[in-house]
Structure 1
Amino acid sequence: MSGDAFEIHGEGREGPMVITCEHASARVPAPLSTSDSDRAWLETHWGYDIGAATVARRLADRSGSVAVLARYSRLVCDPNRDTDDPTWIRTHVEGQPLSFNQDLDAEERDRRARRHHAPYHAAVDRLLAQRLPRGGDVLLFSVHSFTPVFAGAVRPMELGVLFDRHAAVAERFAGLLDEQGFHTALNEPYSGMDGVIFAAQHHGAAHDVVYLELEVRQDLISDAAAAIAVADRVGAALERLRLRTKSR
């Protein structure tokens, strides 16, 4: 079952992960309208995580797992932030105003929460509630991407493993990614300790499952073929992570 706020990929699968992709789409749903300036931002990393949706779907397919992907832009309201976070709805990007986010009243903010944010998170909750009784270890795995350069600073890492708990699992996973030939960093280019992995943390803690967020550098996954190739290498590392986790 999919909805206006989310897509379910692989409904009913019983694989070892529930995969999420909060920034999968650049879509701005009606009744909102966009200007030419807005559309230019929506096509960049500000609007969505380039390549992340392809990686998430491929990981779900190769592991027999289910994935949930947001169907609205993070600039409408960010599913990877709580509704009281000041960046949940951005009014400006790099100093430029977003026309559909100006002078929002409490009613409009509440409408976006009810129509977009809440249904997406309800879908994640439902998938975890369906999967957990079927047995076996379950990993909640959130897929994102990041720019090679931000604010003039080059980001040399190719992958980032973000966490606030489960440090030992994160460290093992990073090592396995390195064995796949990636340059991997822990809690970079963002830190899970800083509240930026809201979706994984919120649902992982609520359902008492191990959770991680993966950040992939966007130049590695800028087209579908490249994204699938990266996902296959990440998937190989995840398969070994499960074996190691079960053996401990």
Structure 2
Amino acid sequence: MSLSDSNARCEAYEVLNGAGQGGAIILCEHASHRIPHRYAGLGLAEADRKSHAAWDPGARAVALGLSQALDAPLIAARVSRLVYDCNRPPEAASAMPQKSELVEVPGNVGLSRDQRDERELTVYRPFCDAVTRLIEARKQAGLQTVLITMHSFTPVYYGIPRTVEIGILHDRDSRMADAMLDQADALPHRRVERNAPYGPEDGVTHSLQLHGIRHGLANVMIEVRNDLMRTPQEETQMAEELLVLLRPTLAALQSTGGADA
């Protein structure tokens, strides 16, 4: 894919606004609950195939809103994270989980090495390669770039309510997270927290490490509680609220040359 390819689609991922000239790349690794036919629905009940276990409800729509507002390319997965979670390395058990919270995944039990390799080669590698191509193309074009990954989380986890509404997550590079949290007072009606409801110790920052830190890009993972994004209107409102945090952050990083190393 080149910068001239504004939109592209394959089984594993889609690229939207690929030619965007804004200062960010946006990823949405859990954008879809689609399970290709060859996996026979992973043996899941219909409700489980469309539940949060299979994807991040609201994340793709909000990511698309951010992409349009920031003129930022968006790469979104088109396969359920229960087939392969593109925010996990191949060696992680959670890359092809046998259980997601309370949801058992029969189609992920007892996978052979060949079966695991097939999913890595047809889902994970194409997604990662698309991200790398886009980053390299932007570097060659002299465009400053930060990496944003967009996710959502459930309001209740193992029966315990979560009070955090927006999580700003980072690994060892906290430049973007620090700058966004500095703006949190601009959203006084929201509970915004650092590395919540997950953090690096939970193994959720693989994309930040692989696509952000490895390429020297400032990076952040945004988690939004999914009960705040149940309708198109709520998704639009959440994108607008996140822009309140992102716009001054991007401006500050670009003015200091801190968007990428």
- Class of the TM-score when normalised by the shorter of the 2 chains: over 0.9
Structure 1 residue 231 and structure 2 residue 239: aligned?
yes
* Aligned twin of 1:220: 228
TM-fit CA distance, 1:95? 5.6
Look up the match of 1:139. Answer: 146
Matched ranges for 1:45-56 at <5 A: 45-56=52-63
- Distance in structure 1 (CA, Å) of the matches to 2:185 and 2:59: 20
Match of 1:112 in 2: 119
Q: 2:163 aligns with which of 115, 139, 156?
A: 156
Count of residues paired in the alignment: 248
User: How many angstroms apart in 2 are the aligned matches of 1:50 and 1:183?
Assistant: 20
Where has structure 1 moved over 6 Å in runs of 4 or more? none
Q: Structure 2: any 5+ residue segments left out of the alignment?
A: 1-7, 257-261
Partner secondary structure for residue 94 of structure 2: coil
C-alpha distance in structure 1 between counterparts of 2:44 and 2:37, whole Å: 18
Q: How does 1:1-248 map to 2 (within 5 A)?
A: 1-34=8-41, 37-94=44-101, 97-181=104-188, 182-248=190-256
Distance 1:126 1:104 in 2: 30
Q: Calculate the TM-score normalised by the size of structure 2.
A: 0.89
Deviation at 1:230, TM superposition (A): 0.6
Q: Distance in 2 between matches of 1:85 and 1:68?
A: 22
More deviation, 179-188/45-54: 179-188
Q: Using the alignment, how far apart are the partners of 1:93 and 1:244 within structure 2? A: 38
1:158 alignment partner AA: E
Q: Go from structure 1 to structure 2 and tell me whether the alpha carbon gap of 1:213 and 1:64 turns closer, same or farther (over 3 Å shift).
A: same
Q: Which moved more, 1:123-132 or 1:193-202?
A: 193-202
Return 121-130 or 163-172, whichever deviates more. Answer: 163-172
Identity %: 30
State the shift of 1:134 in Å. Answer: 2.7
Distance 1:149 1:133 in 2: 44
Specify whether residues 117 and 184 from structure 1 end up closer, same or farther in structure 2 by C-alpha distance, changes over 3 A only. same
Distance 1:89 1:150 in 2: 20
State the TM-score, normalized to the length of structure 1. 0.94
- Structure 1 spans left out of the alignment, 5+ residues: none
Q: 2-side partners of 1:95 and 1:183: how far apart?
A: 26
| Residues 95 and 179 of structure 1: CA distance in aligned 2, closer, same or farther (over 3 Å) | closer
Local SS of the residue matching 1:33: helix
The whole-number CA distance in structure 2 between the counterparts of 1:199 and 1:169 is 15
**Post-superposition offset of 1:135:** 2.8
In structure 1, distance between residues paired with 2:163 and 2:136: 38
Deviations 1:169-202 (A, max 9, x none): 3122023243133210000000134431111211
- Native 8 Å contact 1:38 1:99 kept in 2: no
C-alpha RMSD of the superposition: 1.7
Residue type of the alignment partner of 2:223:
E
Contact in 2 for aligned 1:163/1:193 (Cα 8 Å):
no
Report if the CA contact (8 A) 2:48-2:103 is conserved. Answer: no
* Alpha carbons 1:14, 1:134 under 8 Å: kept: no
